[in-house]
Amino acid sequence: MKRLMITGINGMLSQNLVKEFNHDHEIFGLDLNPGIYPDEAGIHVSIMDLNNAEAVKEILKSIAPDALIHTAAYTNVDRAEDERDIAFAVNANVPKMLSELCAELGIPMVHISTDYVFSGESGPYAETDLCDARGSYAESKLAGEQAVLASKANATVIRPNVMYGHGEQLKSSFVDWLVGELKQAKPVRIVDDQYNNPTYARRLAEVIRIVLDKKAWGLWHFGSKEIVSRYTFALKIADTFGLSSSLINAISTVELNQKAPRPMRSGLICEKMKNELDYNILSIGEELALLKEEMDVA
């Protein structure tokens, strides 16, 4: 059976990768803390800080996976403003080190970046558009993807937008949070001036399989078919889960007073993936229906 190594194994995307690959791959996960996979789950989890290059090199050499999927990141966008060095260590230096190791050991690598590499002033953006990251998280992620693409590894960088999906013990999950609040009849305030085409993590996991199977190295965008505000996205979630949208109130981003800037007019053009990988880009409604189905059977 092929061996797959996944960093940040407890995270949202990784949990979806486990669902995607578990039946035909032996999975080796790395993460900072013990998480959701008990020994009997059959996922081999090693606890380590990816900043420890020696430990990472040792485990990559000993496991010799058929591919490495790097999902781990410093993802707290606002805290990164105060912890710029830590964000750069994890989001820039670690992918650089991993891609160099993958080149040396002949391991194909998938790296997950973000739409935050763009200013968000004039989206949607194609893979060929110029990057202009704003804020420490964004700048550190841009440095990370540039290092991976500049390496000699057989590497793919995929940029998702705001990601949503199902999982256990997730640090932040917009859909779970919103559905929970609305079920308890609590009013929520959602920004109506940030636009993008959200990325469904379960389908991103499927895309990663295709990219590895086709050895489709390079840069790819992946999101849904339409670009909507976060407020409209929330309305669509309420509709999918049969909840009343009367408690969803629109607010503007400035009212949140967040430390880091957010891309306001973002969105990722997915034509390259649609045309070159022959992958069907779905509407938000179609993907939310898949998520509901996934959550109903979970």
The edge-to-edge listing of strands for the beta sheet with 67-70 is: 44-47, 25-31, 2-7, 67-70, 109-112, 155-160, 218-222
Give the position of tokens 């990141």.
73
Residue 129's H or E segment, with its range, is none
Helix, strand and coil in the chain, % to nearest 5 = 40, 20, 40
Q: Which is nearer to ligand NAP, 97 or 282 (CB)?
A: 97
6 binds ligand NAP (CB under 6 A): no
Over its C-alpha atoms, the chain yields an Rg (Å, rounded) of: 19
Q: How far is the CB of 185 from ligand NAP (least distance, A)?
A: 27
Q: How far is the CB of 69 from ligand NAP (least distance, A)?
A: 10
Question: Strand pairing of 155-160 and 109-112?
Answer: parallel
Interface of this chain with ligand NAP, residues 181 to 220, rule: CB under 6 A: none
Residue 161 pairs with which residues in a beta bridge? none
Q: How far is the CB of 152 from ligand NAP (least distance, A)?
A: 22
Q: How far is it, in rounded angstroms, from Cα 258 to Cα 124?
A: 23
DSSP state of 93: I
Q: How far is the CB of 246 from ligand NAP (least distance, A)?
A: 27
Length of the chain in residues, anyone? 298
Contact code string over 146-175 relative to ligand NAP, x by CB under 6 A: --------------x-xx-------x----
Any alpha helices (H) in the chain, and if so which ranges?
12-21, 53-63, 84-88, 94-105, 136-150, 174-183, 201-214, 230-240, 271-276, 284-297
Q: Which is nearer to ligand NAP, 89 or 247 (CB)?
A: 89
49 binds ligand NAP (CB under 6 A): yes
21 binds ligand NAP (CB under 6 A): no
Contact code string over 99-128 relative to ligand NAP, x by CB under 6 A: -------------x-x--------------
Contact code string over 78-97 relative to ligand NAP, x by CB under 6 A: ------------x-------
Binds ligand NAP (CB under 6 A): choice among 6, 60, 68, 72: 72
Non-local (6+) Cβ contacts of 166 within 8 A are 15, 16, 173, 175, 176, 201, 202, 291, 294, 295, 298
Q: Give CA angle at 165 (159, 169), nearest 5°.
A: 115
Binds ligand NAP (CB under 6 A): choice among 4, 5, 6, 8: 8
Q: Which is nearer to ligand NAP, 88 or 279 (CB)?
A: 88
Q: Which is nearer to ligand NAP, 163 or 270 (CB)?
A: 163
Give the interface segment with ligand NAP, choosing from 70-78, 187-195, 226-234, 252-260 (CB under 6 A): 70-78
Of residues 167, 169, 168, 173, the one with CA closest to residue 198 = 173
32 binds ligand NAP (CB under 6 A): yes
How many residues touch ligand NAP under the rule CB under 6 A: the total is 25
Residue 3 pairs with which residues in a beta bridge? 26
In the complex, the residues that contact ligand NAP under the rule CB under 6 A are 8, 10-13, 30-33, 49-51, 71-75, 90, 112, 114, 141, 160, 162-163, 171
